[in-house]
Amino acid sequence: MASLSTSLLTAVQALVADTGALQVTNNNIANASTPGYSRQVAILQEATPTNDGSSSVGNGVVLEGYQSVRDELVQTQIQQETQSQSGANAQLATLQQIQPTFTTSTQDIGTEMSAMFSSLSSLSTNPTSASAGQAVLTAGKNLATAFNTASNTLTSQQAGLNTQVTQDVSQINQLTQQIAALNPQIAELKATGQDGGTVQDQQNQLVLSLSALTSVAVTQTDNGETLSTGNGTPLVVGSQSFALQTTTGSNGMQQVLDQNGSNITASLTTGDLGGTVQMRDQTIPGLLNQLDTLANQFGSAINAAQAQGFNQDGTAGQNFFSVPSTVAGSAASISVALTDPTQIASSSDGTAGSNGNLANLSAVQTSALPAGQTPGDAYANLVYQVGTLTSNATAESGATTSSLLQLNDQLSSVSGVSIDEESTNLITFQTAYEAAARVVSTVQALFSVTLAMGTVAAE
């Protein structure tokens, strides 16, 4: 039979347990806005019952200890989303710098190209006019400058990204050192049966910062967290960190090497470093190549038209544009070769006053270049590509931001959730996602219809 003192003891234990739980709650509230803080819960366990031989009497609850509520799965997802977000942000920041050069403005390539053909049309009405000839030369120079500016914008962005690679690697090395230094502390705490919650929180924050820079795989071992890059290059093992290095590659760009000197640049796909490398080595070279091709083929086409005619003193037309023989670098170096308006090959038969060859020069506007498109269409395609890349990066950046909000919300709500209830909710969410995905498809189809209607309406 339970005595009064036993009952009192049970009550006291319950009180102690509740007080402990209350302390935890207070601590949680105090740290509600502390970045990386993991909410703690009090572990209440039923006290060992007293067995008097015939029956067993309960002794209430005891406070077993505290533990950090940390959903590792959500934590891992947050790290992955952070990598995606940083990669998208790195690309978006660069594309936002590039985009103004490739939109319709007063001095963009498309506008200057139109201005040049317009000036050729004016010259056609009076082929001996010095002012009309000068206008063609000026328009040609403006167009060459537009090509030069666009190319310089791309290459200067590429140079900036190259510097960013070195900075990112430096930050990665600092973070891996700090993470490695925390591993022995956590191992020591765990060895003595303590929950290394605070230190673990600190390490999680560092891993999150590292995730913002590059793709990181985290594995828990007896010696703490082992970190490696996406392709398996070790970054942290126990208390040791392995520094990444940079070296100038044959293309003049900084290459990232692991501790063995192997080049891992191409395998870096996410995080700020991945996004930076992607823009520097893939996106910008792709755009530069198209720009160079357009400059080279356009310049060559105008030069070919010049060669078919004669200038005002009856000599065969010379090159209008100076373009390199190879495509690479054409946009950066294209310039007007003619120095005098009389050198424009307006005449088709060598007689002064003839405008027969101006039609050949003007025809370049509507003729397909070797790449398969007219100069105007080729430029429009380039503008469209930059616009699409920017839109996609914007969408990806926005989506990962919302996704991170969701995951952080999930992380902060982990505890005391019924697994069945949680599972049901998740499946309902998934069903709603599927319905939403159908809406996305419908809206996509609807957009085409609406745009077509709007286009007609705007005409």
Partner 1 sequence: MNLEALQKRDRVANAYLQQLQALALEISAAMDAIAANALPRFQDSVAKQEMLCASLVAMANTVSEGLGLSEQPLLSCIDPAVALKIRATSGAIRELNLKYAALLKHSGRSIALLISLCRSHTGQFQEARGPRLKHQTWSCEM
Rank residues 149 and 226 by Cβ distance to partner 1 and give the closer one. Answer: 226
372 is written with which tokens? Answer: 């398969």
Rank residues 249 and 454 by Cβ distance to partner 1 and give the closer one. Answer: 454
Binding residues for partner 1, per CB under 8 A? Answer: 43, 65, 67-70, 72-74, 77, 81, 84, 186, 190, 195-196, 200, 220, 222, 391-392, 394-396, 398-400, 402-403, 405-407, 409-410, 413, 417-419, 422-423, 425-430, 432-433, 435-440, 442-444, 446-447, 449-451, 453-459
Rank residues 4 and 435 by Cβ distance to partner 1 and give the closer one. Answer: 435
Rank residues 316 and 426 by Cβ distance to partner 1 and give the closer one. Answer: 426
Minimum separation from the CB atom of position 217 to partner 1 (A): 12
d(CA 29, CA 44): 20
Rank residues 45 and 366 by Cβ distance to partner 1 and give the closer one. Answer: 45
Q: Which residues contact 224 (CB under 8 A, 6 or more apart)?
A: 182, 183, 184, 186, 187, 203, 238, 239
Rank residues 31 and 226 by Cβ distance to partner 1 and give the closer one. Answer: 226
261 is written with which tokens? Answer: 């000197």
Radius of gyration of the chain (CA): 34
Rank residues 201 and 281 by Cβ distance to partner 1 and give the closer one. Answer: 201
Residue 121 CB neighbours (<10 A) = 15
Rank residues 366 and 442 by Cβ distance to partner 1 and give the closer one. Answer: 442
Rank residues 17 and 407 by Cβ distance to partner 1 and give the closer one. Answer: 407
Per the CB < 8 A criterion, the answer to whether 368 and 298 are in contact is no
Minimum separation from the CB atom of position 454 to partner 1 (A): 4
Minimum separation from the CB atom of position 459 to partner 1 (A): 8
Rank residues 131 and 430 by Cβ distance to partner 1 and give the closer one. Answer: 430
CA-closest candidate to residue 61, choices 7, 1, 6, 10: 10
Rank residues 4 and 419 by Cβ distance to partner 1 and give the closer one. Answer: 419
Minimum separation from the CB atom of position 353 to partner 1 (A): 47
d(CA 175, CA 181): 10
3-state secondary structure the chain: CCCHHHHHHHHHHHHHHHHHHHHHHHHHHHCCCCCCCCCEEEEEEECCCEECCCCEECCCEEEEEEEECCCHHHHHHHHHHHHHHHHHHHHHHHHHHHHHHHCCCCCCHHHHHHHHHHHHHHHHHCCCCHHHHHHHHHHHHHHHHHHHHHHHHHHHHHHHHHHHHHHHHHHHHHHHHHHHHHHHHHHHHHHCCCCCHHHHHHHHHHHHHHHHHCCEEEEEECCEEEEEECCCCEEEECCEECCCEEEECCCCCEEEECCCCCECHHHCCCHHHHHHHHHHHHHHHHHHHHHHHHHHHHHHHHHHHHHCCECCCCCECCCCEECCCCCCCHHHHCEECCCCHHHCCCECCCCCCCCCCHHHHHHCCCCCCCCCCCHHHHHHHHHHHHHHHHHHHHHHHHHHHHHHHHHHHHHHCCCCCCHHHHHHHHHHHHHHHHHHHHHHHHHHHHHHHHHHHHHHHHC
Rank residues 15 and 426 by Cβ distance to partner 1 and give the closer one. Answer: 426
d(CA 257, CA 269): 15
